[in-house]
């Protein structure tokens, strides 16, 4: 039996159970693989229906990461050397379609989970890890947390529901995070609405012990309140108390107020100057895929006001279109395979990745009744 996810059911002092799922690939920073998804989905569904389970906990093995993103090595193999049986209407392997569809289904399940679900977001939480974390009812960051959507570095786009939760960041600044892959520490994760509590990582066992000692009932709302109280009693103010995202908000509001992507990118370039945080953000943008920048802009613009389920359905089709384009393979190659850090993006400039070019990603792949995520 695979051990990429470890499952534990810890009995409480009053007859209920705390169910714990641990992503168990610490050497890979617990990157989300297809096998992980295939293990997590049925177990989370089982726990959702089990009246004995009061709370579910999702965490990562080791001290370095909750989850650093998707399994890019596995995705690269799937796109280059795996089973090349095509997905419908695209030169993309069916295995790649299956991974994205099931990953998004898992993320949606977490957003809509019928019981309190605690995500312990210690260390690196990026990309696919964000997809697992942001939908949890109770989200903890620690003094080691680093949250980001860094897809611009690999030629994908901020997926796993990113088109939805980036649009929830105050004042439209989610677009800046998508374009620059800026990392948020605990204070900014709380400010952005991506986390609810700051608890030092060393207190995980104490929090779990408090949950085990607690008397839980069958009422979801009451259990939510109980878990919130336990986390509130354990939390401490993050240090620093205010992060660079919050402190830069006046400038970022002005940057993101631009009507066109070109205006926004130009404003980021102009604002960078000698400010270390903005300089780093601008460097990420300049090194990233111009096609990702265009696609992120279009997705956030087009999906404003959409339901979460509709966002996931669109993201699946866009992800498959991306998988048929060269940038994602080139981005993973440069970052993780050859590690030359010199991707040759196509298109190579924002001028080439224009509004006409991006339309290819929005050509429907499925009829509504045949969409793999039609039942969300």
Span 39-71, pLDDT tens digits: 999 999 999 999 999 999 999 999 999 999 999
- pLDDT higher than 80, residue 88: no
- pLDDT higher than 80, residue 85: no
Taking only the tens place, the pLDDT of each residue in 145-185 is 999 999 999 999 999 999 999 999 999 999 999 999 999 99
Taking only the tens place, the pLDDT of each residue in 278-311 is 999 999 999 999 999 999 999 999 999 999 999 9
Quick one: pLDDT at residue 95?
A: 87
Taking only the tens place, the pLDDT of each residue in 252-273 is 999 999 999 999 999 999 999 8
Quick one: pLDDT at residue 1?
A: 47
Give the pLDDT mean for 124-141: 98
Q: What distance in Å separates the CA atoms of residue 91 and residue 342, rounded to the nearest whole number?
A: 26
174 alpha carbon, distance to own chain's centre: 13
Residue 93 pLDDT class (50, 70, 90 cuts): confident
| Helices 276-287 and 261-272, packing angle to 10 deg | 140
Taking only the tens place, the pLDDT of each residue in 16-44 is 999 999 999 999 999 999 999 999 999 99
CB 216 within 8 A of CB 223: yes
Quick one: pLDDT at residue 319?
A: 96
Helices (H) and strands (E) in the chain, counts: 16, 9
- Nearest CA to 319 out of 48, 2, 107 is that of 107
Taking only the tens place, the pLDDT of each residue in 357-370 is 999 999 999 999 99
DSSP states of 43-84: HHHHHHH-TTEEEEEEEESSSSEEE-SB-HHHHHHHHHTS--
Quick one: pLDDT at residue 94?
A: 84
| pTM for this model (two decimals) | 0.96
86 or 236, which is more confident?
A: 236
């Amino acid at each position: 039996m695979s051990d990429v996810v470890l499952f534990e059911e810890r009995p409480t002092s009053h007859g209920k159970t705390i169910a714990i799922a641990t992503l168990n690939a610490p050497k890979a920073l617990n990157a989300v693989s297809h096998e992980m998804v295939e293990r997590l989905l049925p177990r989370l569904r089982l726990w959702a229906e089990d009246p004995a389970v009061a709370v579910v906990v999702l965490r990562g093995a080791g001290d370095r990461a909750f989850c650093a993103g998707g399994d890019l090595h596995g995705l690269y193999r799937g796109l280059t050397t795996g089973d090349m049986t095509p997905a419908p209407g695209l030169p993309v392997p069916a295995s790649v379609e299956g991974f994205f569809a099931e990953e998004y289904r898992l993320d949606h399940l977490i957003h809509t989970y019928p019981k309190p679900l605690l995500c312990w977001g210690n260390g690196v939480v990026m990309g696919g890890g964000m997809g697992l974390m942001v939908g949890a009812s109770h989200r903890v960051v620690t003094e080691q947390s680093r949250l980001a959507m860094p897809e611009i570095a690999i030629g994908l786009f901020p997926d796993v529901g990113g088109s939805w939760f980036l649009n929830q960041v105050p004042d439209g600044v989610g677009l800046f995070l998508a374009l620059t892959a800026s990392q948020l520490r605990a204070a900014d994760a709380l400010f952005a609405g991506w986390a609810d509590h700051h608890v030092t990582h060393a207190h995980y066992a104490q929090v779990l012990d408090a949950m085990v000692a607690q008397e839980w009932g069958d009422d979801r709302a009451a259990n939510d309140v109980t878990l919130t109280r336990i986390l509130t009693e354990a939390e401490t103010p993050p240090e620093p108390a205010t992060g660079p995202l919050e402190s830069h908000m006046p400038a970022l509001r002005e940057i993101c107020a631009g009507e066109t992507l070109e205006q926004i990118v130009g404003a980021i370039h102009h604002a960078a100057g000698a400010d270390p945080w903005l300089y780093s953000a601008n460097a990420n943008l300049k090194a990233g895929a111009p096609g990702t920048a265009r696609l992120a802009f279009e997705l956030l613009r087009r999906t404003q006001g959409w339901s979460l389920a509709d966002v996931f359905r669109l993201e699946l089709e866009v992800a498959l279109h991306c998988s048929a384009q060269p940038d994602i393979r080139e981005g993973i190659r440069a970052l993780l395979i050859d590690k030359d850090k010199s991707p040759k993006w196509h298109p190579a400039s924002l001028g080439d990745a224009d509004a006409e070019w991006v339309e290819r990603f929005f050509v429907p792949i499925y009829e509504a009744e045949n969409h793999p995520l039609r039942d969300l």
